[in-house]
Amino acid sequence: MLFNSVEFLIFFPITLIIGNLLKNTAQRIFLLLASYYFYMAWNKYFIALILVSTILDYAIALWLQSLPDTSSRTRKIALTISMVGNIGFLAFFKYTNFLIEVFQDIGFINFANFAVYHSPIGITCSLDEKTLRYACDIILPVGISFYTFQSMSYTIDVYFKKIEARRSIIDFALYVAFFPQLVAGPIVRATSFLRDLDLRLSVTQADIELAISRILIGFMRKLVFADNLALVVNNVFKNYHQMNALEVWTGAIAFGWQIYFDFAGYTDIAIGTARLFGFKFDPNFQFPMSTDSIMDHWNKWHISFSTWIRDYIFIPLGGSREGQWKTYRNLFITWFFAGVWHGAAYHFISWGVWQGVMITVQRLFKTTKISVILNEKGGFVYDLFCRVFTMFCLSFGFVMFRSETMKDCFAMHKIMLFQSKISFLDEKGDLLYRNIEFGILLFICFFASYFFSKRNLETMHEKRNLLMITNITAIFLILIFGAEPSTFMYFAF
């Protein structure tokens, strides 16, 4: 079910009213069933995957809780079962198609003239009876990466005794499937969710006002900015071979802002919605598009994911504790994983590696004398240069993320590096810039992001007139400029 759908506009108020009227166990059961209904509105069959993942990690966590510290080998076996089960499901549905593509590329398999079978859960299988080989076009279950990570982090935390295993399967199932963050995050840690579940936060008038404001801002980001920027993004990535470097750069930067507005809009709605039920999720974005470095960008972009890979991949690998070169190795492994997590395709892997390259270069640069001098004496000019330069480096990676194939990615990079023969001038000798209005919009977005990064809703709430103006502006923009509702982009991950 989409947040920006008529179905959700009916589902949400009913769930909110009944959910707040009920108390204790009845309330938790109702919210769990409502969350399952929310997910099944997309595909009822895939609810089985959530149930299996929930039961698996619930049982493993209780098993870990019952084992003494001396049973280290048994504890590792229990954790391994959980990891294999969760990652196995994720790998099958998310990476089978990619592995088939790799095998085809290297010539191990060749699927041709296959009979086709369509299963009710979205798996389309082709069978060649003569060779008994299968090729499957597997539909990715919405939200599988998010709820799998949540469930796995719970088991890992129980293993390391950061939290105690939950006795109530209703409580744990609700943690995994709570509908606001179920299909596209943020990735909520069990410690914070179960804390709020036990000691439900009161929902004051101020909380309601802030939640509604956050939800309105989320819809504005999605409907007004993300969905309208999609127009120029889709056009550029489809017709890049007919465009000059300036136009392709505009499309690349526009995609970065599109996915930011789309994903930040979703998490704004999720955080605001959860708050109305008495849960407080941490912010997932902190104006990351106007930062002065790639490391600062990732400290403010998809925070729940960047902290997850830090805590469960980078640090267990050794983090930065074992010397410089092992630190860089750990960085590349972590960001390779980040690329694979986003999608099973060469261009996603290259995007992840590019993040590792940028972070490594920045860490190396920070150790030089010129970096110290520029930070001390560069002032506003150097600060602005860093922010603009970071945006351009990120946009180079956005092309990897958005391109359908590496061939398209390389072709666009070639144009962006001014290796194209397409002219910047039209027949009259004027500058050829067919998406100039979007270029101006992106310029405004950049400086608006820098301005609002100094403020937050809580600060604005202290000046009630300012918050009211923000809400009225959001409603006005949605009604006047809101595009036709479309699926949130991170449903694909």
Residues annotated catalytic, as ranges: 342
Please tell me the total number of residues recorded for the chain in this structure.
493
Residue 171 CA to residue 29 CA, distance in Å, equals 9
Residue 465: both structure tokens together:
């007139």
Cβ–Cβ under 8 Å, residues 193 and 178: yes
Q: How far is CA 89 from the centre of its chain?
A: 19
What angle, 0 to 180 degrees and rounded to 10, lies between the N-to-C axes of helices 324-342 and 346-366?
Answer: 150
Complete DSSP assignment for 326-343? HHHHHHHHHHHHHHHHH-
> How many CA atoms are closer than 13 Å to the CA of 168, on its beta-carbon side?
12
Residue 166 CA to residue 168 CA, distance in Å, equals 6
Q: How many beta carbons lie within 10 A of that of residue 444, not counting itself?
A: 10
- Counting beta carbons within 10 angstroms of the beta carbon of residue 193, is it exposed (0 to 12), middle (13 to 18) or buried (19 or more)? buried
CA distances 17 to 23, 276, 279, Å, are: 12, 10, 15
Among 100, 98, 105, smallest CA distance to 135 is for 100
**Per DSSP, what are the bridge partners of residue 135?**
126
Q: What is the DSSP letter of 123?
A: E
Query: Phi and psi of 111, rounded to 5°?
Result: -95, 115
Angle at 395 between CA 385 and CA 281, to 5 degrees: 95
Q: In this structure, which amino acid lies at residue 172?
A: F
| Sheet with 133-138: strands ordered across | 115-118, 123-128, 133-138
Residue 194: both structure tokens together:
């179960």
Q: In this structure, which amino acid lies at residue 394?
A: L
Residue 442: both structure tokens together:
């992106």
Q: How far is CA 303 from the centre of its chain?
A: 9
Q: Can you list the alpha helix ranges (DSSP code H) found in 167-287? A: 169-177, 190-198, 205-219, 227-239, 245-276
